[in-house]
Amino acid sequence: KALHQESPRRDHALISVNCAAIPESLIEAELFGYEKGAFTGANTQRKGLVEAADGGTLFLDEVGDMSPTMQVKLLRVLQEGTLIPVGGTEQRKVDVRVVAATNRDLKDMVERQTFREDLYYRINVINLVVPPLRDRKEDIPVLIDHFLARGCKEKNLPMKALQKRVLEKVFDYPWPGNIRELQNEVERLIVLTGDSNKIGAELLSQRIRD
């Protein structure tokens, strides 16, 4: 599910943040930056990702994994257009378009009081629900071609093709990890095939073969 918070500026800068991948002890410094001496190891002043996206777009992936404390700080950015770096005392102005995504049911989290209601309605301006990959398997061939082309180009390898049996297994598999799981599997297959341009079913992960 993607949630969109509109901003009047439309520059091209894009900063992406996976909120679930950054430890709770570090996410505030990553997002809002910090002043010199704010904590052990903060030997210089550092601009955060929100400020780096000033004038552009900030993509917050897995926003539903944000702690209540970080939700409050994000709400300030959206409502007031200001932030305070870790260890700082002065507010800094930012103008950022925010796009947020999550695999959680935020409405349910609001009802259970694990996600702030005011933040939910602030980011829920344009709501796009993306069906899981298992419900749109017609997209799989296009996605595979994209991941194959990009992966082979990055590794300077010949373009590869999946054998018929591979495609059958791929279509039968439910892909609980959605597009990320498919991407990881394609990248894995590229590495395993090396210079060969054919990908056989024997190279698929066991969970997909079975």
User: pLDDT tens, 64-107?
Assistant: 999 999 999 999 999 999 999 999 999 999 999 999 999 899 99
Is the pLDDT at 5 greater than 60? The verdict is: no
197-202 CB contacts, 8 Å cutoff, 24+ apart: 197/158, 197/159, 197/160, 197/161, 198/160, 198/161, 198/163, 199/160, 199/161, 199/162, 199/163, 199/166, 200/163, 200/165, 200/166, 201/163, 201/165, 201/166, 201/169
pLDDT in tens, 102-133: 989 999 999 999 999 999 999 998 888 889 99
Nearest to 160 by CA among 202, 197, 200: 197
pLDDT tens digits, 165-175? 999 999 999 99
| For residue 2, pLDDT beyond 80 | no
Tokens representing 9?
């500026």
- CA 26 – CA 30 distance, rounded (Å): 6
Q: Using CA of residue 106, residue 174, residue 155, residue 152, what is the dihedral sign?
A: negative
CA distance readout (Å), 102 to 35, 45, 61, 92, 126: 30, 31, 6, 27, 14
CB atoms near residue 72 (< 10 Å): 13
